[in-house]
Amino acid sequence: MTHAKWAEFKQRVGEIHDLNAASGVLSWDLETMMPAKGADNRAQQLSTLSALSHRLMTDEAMGALLKTLRKDAAKLSAVEAALVREVGREFDRATKLPEALVQQMSEITAKAHALWVEARQKQDFKLFEPVLSQIVTLNQQMADCLGYEGSPYNALMDLYEPGLTTQTVDAVFGAIKPHLVQLVSGITQSKSSPERSFLHTKSSLDKQWQFSIQVLTAMGFDFEGGRMDKAPHPFCTGAQGDVRLTTRLFEEDLVSSLFSSMHEAGHGLYEQGVSPDLTRTPLSEGTSLGIHESQSRMWENLVGRSRPFWGHFYPRLKAMFPKQLNRVSVERFYKAINVVQPSFIRVESDEVTYNLHILLRYELERDIIEGKLKVKDIPKAWNAKMTELLGITPTNDAQGCLQDIHWAHGSFGYFPTYTLGNLYASQFFHTAQQAMPSLTTHIQRGNLAPLRAWLQEQIHQYGKQYTPDELVQRVTGESLNPQYFIDYLWQKFGGLYGVTPPVAVKKLVKHR
């Protein structure tokens, strides 16, 4: 391999990266700033950019370069080899997917967004059903083009979490489901229902916003290399130097925007923490959605909903919202932000019931892609599963199968990464606590810098250099282990609600 060939490879990779980044900014704009009448033109722009990117990636010259580089892999540095591996993965994927299919998906999903919004507003699945049927068919065609072993759903999950299979997801849910069900039923029977009406009185949106900015600053989010705006659906996009977060604010909910801001900032810190050496390459992003979600969940839940965090931040929140919180002790507040209660909406659900929402989506999506569940039967199947897993039945589709944006985006196979994220978060946080015995004390003092520094050193700087499993092994010394999450849930929520774990889980397993 000559120096010139490597330079040409990097040049091509950079151009593709630029096109994808431009699509990212246009998509961000579509969900934050764009006037409604811009939708049709925007669909065209995104479709053109994605076609161009696809064309560059599948160019014969790119194929030839990759062939040479793969042959010479032994001569490459670790980072170079990782870049060839990732570009190779994208090349294989792109050459397997016909350009027409990619373009169709891009056009249909750009239109689907508006239809989904309308259907949700009118609580009428029928308005969304035709376009969703098209999206499902395109996903099934994609799975066929990509190839798979076992379930076609594996081909789709692999897009978000490399190598993830229904076998692994079944094993993960097999391990955690009995605990979730036991804990939920113990909590429901405990009759302890913490009061939280003080969180739902009118509170200033400006002050909520200011408080979130204060916390994000303490987390180390760099506002010169990123920004936060308002959108109906919180998300994080962009990469180092320009990381865009969104949040949504409700007058009648004092803390929900804080937690969604912390969540997205957890994603944002990951992006901001990637080594500058990896910029303008596919390695400059997080390694997978599951690992990405571990960062957001850690900040949102293991930090943001923890008792130590509020030791420092509660007096500050109280000073900002005296009318709402004057008579509320930090203990009552802590209980109120950790109420466990079966509810309809995934993004508003608590840490215990959350993964049951994911289990529901996983089983439905798998059946839809495998052709076992028809699109028209989704509302019925959704409601039946909800009743089975959480004991409650949605009264309309907005409360049920229309609540998530993912299908309108064309994404099937994405949901399981949320549960993986929760599991990885507990495993990483356990390791961080072992590595830094004073971590809890730091958090109690509002000093979030040591955790951020540890995450950057252990995880963020590497971007996509390691595969998810390589990274987890490097950081924690073992592969994904659901036991950390199970222990965490029992300790925190068993304690809060006075629910005792069954004997089998009482003894903490020795992990390492």
Segment contacting Mg ion by CB under 5 A, of 291-299, 306-314, 390-398, 496-504: 291-299
DSSP, res 374: -
**Under 8 Å between Cβ of 157 and 369:** no
Return d(Cα 13, Cα 9) in angstroms, integer: 6
Coil, strand, or helix at residue 162?
coil
Q: What DSSP string runs through 466-502? A: S-HHHHHHHHHSSS--THHHHHHHIIIIIHHHTPPPP
First to last CA, the chain: 42
- Chain-centroid distance, C-alpha 87: 23
The distance between the two most distant Cα atoms of the chain, rounded to a whole number of Å, is 71
Question: At closest approach, how far in Å is the CB of 419 from Mg ion?
Answer: 12
Return d(Cα 391, Cα 268) in angstroms, integer: 35
Cα radius of gyration (the chain): 23
Pick the closer one to Mg ion by CB: 246 or 296.
296
Q: Half-sphere exposure of 234 toward its Cβ, with a 13 Å CA cutoff?
A: 21
Pick the closer one to Mg ion by CB: 272 or 296.
296
* Strand ordering across the sheet containing 242-247: 226-230, 242-247, 236-239
Question: At closest approach, how far in Å is the CB of 296 from Mg ion?
Answer: 4
Only one residue has tokens 């010394």, namely 477
Overall residue count recorded for the chain in this entry: 512
Pick the closer one to Mg ion by CB: 143 or 164.
164
Question: At closest approach, how far in Å is the CB of 236 from Mg ion?
Answer: 7
Pick the closer one to Mg ion by CB: 379 or 421.
421
Within 248-353, residue ranges assigned H as helices are 256-272, 289-297, 307-320, 322-325, 330-336
| Residues in Cβ contact with 94 at an 8 Å cutoff, skipping those fewer than 6 apart | 54, 57, 58
Pick the closer one to Mg ion by CB: 268 or 282.
268
Which residue in the set 260, 287, 294, 296 belongs to the binding site for Mg ion (CB under 5 A)? 296
Return d(Cα 371, Cα 368) in angstroms, integer: 5
Token code pair at residue 297:
């969940």
Decide: is 422 part of the binding site for Mg ion (CB under 5 A): no
Question: At closest approach, how far in Å is the CB of 259 from Mg ion?
Answer: 12
| Residues in Cβ contact with 369 at an 8 Å cutoff, skipping those fewer than 6 apart | 136, 139, 140, 143, 151, 152, 153, 156, 412, 413
Pick the closer one to Mg ion by CB: 9 or 270.
270
Question: At closest approach, how far in Å is the CB of 325 from Mg ion?
Answer: 28
Strand 226-230 to 236-239 pairing: unpaired
Question: At closest approach, how far in Å is the CB of 329 from Mg ion?
Answer: 31
Segment contacting Mg ion by CB under 5 A, of 39-47, 295-303, 332-340, 482-490: 295-303
Q: Half-sphere exposure of 506 toward its Cβ, with a 13 Å CA cutoff?
A: 6
Q: Which residue is nearest to Mg ion (CB)?
A: 296
| Interior/surface letters 213-243, b for 16+ CB within 10 angstroms, e for the rest | ebbbebbbbeeeebebeebeebbbbbbbebb
- What share of residues in the chain are helix, strand, coil (percent, to 5)? 70, 5, 30
Token code pair at residue 196:
């939280």
Binders of Mg ion: how many residues, by CB under 5 A?
A: 1
What positions carry a catalytic annotation? 264
Question: At closest approach, how far in Å is the CB of 61 from Mg ion?
Answer: 36
Print the binding letters for residues 250-289 with Mg ion: x by CB under 5 A, - otherwise: ----------------------------------------
Interface positions, 462-491, toward Mg ion (CB under 5 A): none
Question: At closest approach, how far in Å is the CB of 231 from Mg ion?
Answer: 14
Pick the closer one to Mg ion by CB: 203 or 296.
296
Pick the closer one to Mg ion by CB: 314 or 424.
424
Pick the closer one to Mg ion by CB: 233 or 374.
233
Token code pair at residue 335:
């209980």
Print the binding letters for residues 426-455 with Mg ion: x by CB under 5 A, - otherwise: ------------------------------
Question: At closest approach, how far in Å is the CB of 260 from Mg ion?
Answer: 9
Return d(Cα 315, Cα 92) in angstroms, integer: 54
Return d(Cα 230, Cα 31) in angstroms, integer: 9
Question: At closest approach, how far in Å is the CB of 263 from Mg ion?
Answer: 6
Pick the closer one to Mg ion by CB: 84 or 236.
236
Binding site for Mg ion (CB under 5 A): 296
